[in-house]
Chain A
């Protein structure tokens, strides 16, 4: 081998090695972006799954509760006055505090503390007249202090937790009366203006209903359209035109569909505003082209020999399609549908336009109740000023991501498990 050829060979090897390195660097870069993103979300969000409680003692004093009856009924307990009992439960933490300063102690728990005091007695009627320990939801500020997210060294006038409150907190913490437990209410409560009480139940249900409505509207329409276009429609300029338009539709920005939902569903058809019904129909406009394209692709992937076999057996076009082509294309269609729905799951803009951005503090029971959705909830919370919402945003993103991963996993499983292999 002469030196010229040797050189050429060496160059070729080097070029290939360099190219592989470029590829590796590109993948490494992408993975590190993902890692940073994930780290950000997890490090900020994981604390939202912990809830801080303040433990104190409550005296269910019959006189303060204004209960006269000797053995009070459920109704008596229901209608009793809990204001004083609850107030005393908190102020007893520091008996020396002058009365005009008591707000400082009350502010350390959520505004719902009176209801919590009431609930405990309703659950345990025999506590009446006794002094019992009680767990009260800490305010979001105390919660953040306890989680170490709140800087204690900034000047007092810039702090939402003053020195006195910090002192009480430290005292309680030393006594072990600050509890940190798994935050069940994050999953079971609707949204709230107070970060310590806010949960994703309403937006989660809103998302579930929206996706179900979206599926119910888009799947049948898209599959029928795909079957007709692929198996029955004549191939001419008009059907080509339709195909181009469907492909274009898939690329239309989602906010345009939101405007359509606003202009048609709300203004013309007068459907209830802010509901998963409208949200789902709007999203179905978006998923429609995605499903049509996936369904057509998987119908195309059914080998023509199967169609010929059925036709040659004397099956009509309809029978060939329904008995053979469509069942064989279903795995591809379904996984395309799930991917379309996963896209719809993360959509925010169209939902904001049709009013699903409203503050909803009830859990929707049907698709026609007002609701938010998970991505919109993220948007709403990210606009809130309180420090307590920062971790909630990340936690909500984590729930949304888990939802997305589950759906994409389902799509993968459907595709691999049920798709027929053609030799």
Chain B
């Protein structure tokens, strides 16, 4: 089942073109990994999926990106509603400098998801449990989120993202600032989450892509070179460039 269908997406930063005719089908409740060398456009593509490129004034997106037949690349689209459905986890953990509770409760508050204090407590607890952070923080929910360790902060950001029950979660190199143990925890978490949500993850670590994803797309110089099942991409890619990148000959 296709969740997101991108067709001929071109992205420009001013006069510089960053993505060339990218077409991709992202399947529902699967993990799709986007790999490629730095500056290849994988993050740019990821940010098209929740319209975060709107923040960059000189950025222009052309082409069609459909999520459940809703055109995302349209002026009429309400980005607030879109981002309620498409959560995002960033490269560097960026919890709000507020309490752990407030961090998780922020999304449900602004989107009016919880009707009562009890309901909100419930949402915060479930989100933190799903993010495998509950046991570590349940006694100090009123402490500042930025005081946690790096790995905990990133899991807090994941808890924050899932607090509004999004259908899709975008992850932009979520483990690049973390140590191997924290990385393993996040990867386990991704595995759990894919039962309920569609995940698109950008990663520099090929082993991570191989471990967590079902589909992998390889980007190079703004083009989607190859896209297919992770097994095939890593064991038997069709394209010579993919082969070279995966075996570490460039990138």
- A-side interface residues toward B, CB under 8 Å? 234-235, 303, 305-316, 319, 323-324, 328, 420, 423
Least CB separation from B107: chain A residue: A313
Q: Which of A307, A314, A323 contacts B164 (CB 8 A)?
A: A314
Given the interface pairs A234-B57, A313-B164, the reply to whether A319 lies near B110 with Cβ below 8 Å is yes
Which residues of chain B (150-199) have a CB below 8 Å from chain A? 157, 160-161, 164
**Residues of chain B with a CB closer than 8 A to A312's CB:** 50, 52, 83, 87-88, 90, 161
User: Would you call B217 an interface residue if the criterion is a C-beta within 8 Å of the partner chain's C-beta atoms?
Assistant: no
User: Would you call B8 an interface residue if the criterion is a C-beta within 8 Å of the partner chain's C-beta atoms?
Assistant: no
**Residues of chain A with a CB closer than 8 A to B161's CB:** 312-313
User: Is the beta-carbon distance between B95 and A314 smaller than 8 angstroms?
Assistant: no
Which residues of chain B (107-128) have a CB below 8 Å from chain A? 107, 110-111
Centre residue among A235, A315, A423 by max chain B CB count within 10 A:
A315
Scan B33-58; emit 1 where CB is below 8 A from any A CB, else 0: 00000000000000000101001010
Least Cβ–Cβ distance between B48 and chain A, in angstroms: 13
User: Is the beta-carbon distance between B92 and A305 smaller than 8 angstroms?
Assistant: yes
**Residues of chain A with a CB closer than 8 A to B111's CB:** 314
**Residues of chain A with a CB closer than 8 A to B107's CB:** 313-314
Q: Which of B80, B82, B88, B96 contacts A324 (CB 8 A)?
A: B96
User: Is the beta-carbon distance between B110 and A314 smaller than 8 angstroms?
Assistant: yes
The 5 residue pairs across chains A and B that have the minimum distance between CB atoms: A314-B83, A312-B88, A305-B94, A314-B84, A309-B94
User: Is the beta-carbon distance between A235 and B164 smaller than 8 angstroms?
Assistant: no
The complex places the Cα of A215 from the Cα of B111 at a distance, in Å, of 36
Least Cβ–Cβ distance between A305 and chain B, in angstroms: 4
User: Would you call B81 an interface residue if the criterion is a C-beta within 8 Å of the partner chain's C-beta atoms?
Assistant: yes
**Residues of chain A with a CB closer than 8 A to B55's CB:** 307-308, 311
Which residues of chain B (62-99) have a CB below 8 Å from chain A? 79-84, 87-88, 90, 92, 94-97
User: Is the beta-carbon distance between B160 and A313 smaller than 8 angstroms?
Assistant: yes
User: Is the beta-carbon distance between B97 and A328 smaller than 8 angstroms?
Assistant: yes
**Residues of chain A with a CB closer than 8 A to B83's CB:** 311-314
Q: Which of B81, B92, B110 contacts A313 (CB 8 A)?
A: B110
User: Is the beta-carbon distance between B94 and A315 smaller than 8 angstroms?
Assistant: no
The complex places the Cα of A315 from the Cα of B87 at a distance, in Å, of 12
User: Is the beta-carbon distance between B110 and A308 smaller than 8 angstroms?
Assistant: no
User: Is the beta-carbon distance between B94 and A308 smaller than 8 angstroms?
Assistant: yes
User: Would you call B106 an interface residue if the criterion is a C-beta within 8 Å of the partner chain's C-beta atoms?
Assistant: yes
The complex places the Cα of A307 from the Cα of B97 at a distance, in Å, of 12
Main secondary structure of the interface of B (DSSP, over half): helix
User: Is the beta-carbon distance between A310 and B96 smaller than 8 angstroms?
Assistant: yes
**Residues of chain B with a CB closer than 8 A to A316's CB:** 80
**Residues of chain A with a CB closer than 8 A to B92's CB:** 305
The complex places the Cα of A308 from the Cα of B94 at a distance, in Å, of 9
**Residues of chain B with a CB closer than 8 A to A315's CB:** 80, 106, 110
The complex places the Cα of A154 from the Cα of B111 at a distance, in Å, of 86
**Residues of chain A with a CB closer than 8 A to B50's CB:** 312
Least CB separation from B160: chain A residue: A313
The complex places the Cα of A84 from the Cα of B82 at a distance, in Å, of 92
**Residues of chain B with a CB closer than 8 A to A308's CB:** 52, 55, 90, 94
The complex places the Cα of A306 from the Cα of B98 at a distance, in Å, of 11
Least Cβ–Cβ distance between A238 and chain B, in angstroms: 14
Least Cβ–Cβ distance between A18 and chain B, in angstroms: 45
**Residues of chain A with a CB closer than 8 A to B94's CB:** 303, 305-306, 308-309
**Residues of chain B with a CB closer than 8 A to A309's CB:** 90, 94-96, 157, 160
The complex places the Cα of A277 from the Cα of B83 at a distance, in Å, of 49
**Residues of chain B with a CB closer than 8 A to A423's CB:** 146
Least Cβ–Cβ distance between A298 and chain B, in angstroms: 14
Centre residue among A309, A313, A315, A316 by max chain B CB count within 10 A:
A313
**Residues of chain B with a CB closer than 8 A to A323's CB:** 106, 110
Question: Could you give 8 example pairs across A and B, Cβ below 8 Å?
Answer: A305-B92, A305-B94, A309-B90, A312-B88, A314-B83, A323-B106, A323-B110, A420-B146
Least Cβ–Cβ distance between B195 and chain A, in angstroms: 22
Centre residue among B94, B95, B146 by max chain A CB count within 10 A:
B94
**Residues of chain B with a CB closer than 8 A to A303's CB:** 94
The complex places the Cα of A319 from the Cα of B83 at a distance, in Å, of 14
Least Cβ–Cβ distance between A304 and chain B, in angstroms: 8
What 14 new A-B contacts, CB under 8 Å, besides A305-B94, A309-B90? Answer: A234-B57, A305-B90, A306-B94, A307-B55, A309-B157, A311-B55, A312-B87, A312-B90, A313-B164, A314-B81, A314-B83, A315-B80, A315-B110, A323-B106
Least CB separation from A420: chain B residue: B97
**Residues of chain A with a CB closer than 8 A to B81's CB:** 314
The complex places the Cα of A187 from the Cα of B68 at a distance, in Å, of 76
User: Is the beta-carbon distance between A311 and B52 smaller than 8 angstroms?
Assistant: yes
Least CB separation from B87: chain A residue: A312
**Residues of chain B with a CB closer than 8 A to A420's CB:** 97, 146
Least CB separation from B93: chain A residue: A305
The complex places the Cα of A311 from the Cα of B86 at a distance, in Å, of 11
**Residues of chain B with a CB closer than 8 A to A314's CB:** 79-84, 107, 110-111, 164
Given the interface pairs A324-B96, A328-B97, A420-B97, the reply to whether A313 lies near B52 with Cβ below 8 Å is no
Least Cβ–Cβ distance between A319 and chain B, in angstroms: 6
Centre residue among B52, B82, B106, B160 by max chain A CB count within 10 A:
B106
The complex places the Cα of A305 from the Cα of B145 at a distance, in Å, of 14
Least Cβ–Cβ distance between A301 and chain B, in angstroms: 13
The complex places the Cα of A323 from the Cα of B98 at a distance, in Å, of 11
The complex places the Cα of A315 from the Cα of B83 at a distance, in Å, of 8
The complex places the Cα of A423 from the Cα of B111 at a distance, in Å, of 30
The complex places the Cα of A141 from the Cα of B57 at a distance, in Å, of 73
User: Is the beta-carbon distance between B57 and A235 smaller than 8 angstroms?
Assistant: yes
Least Cβ–Cβ distance between B239 and chain A, in angstroms: 32
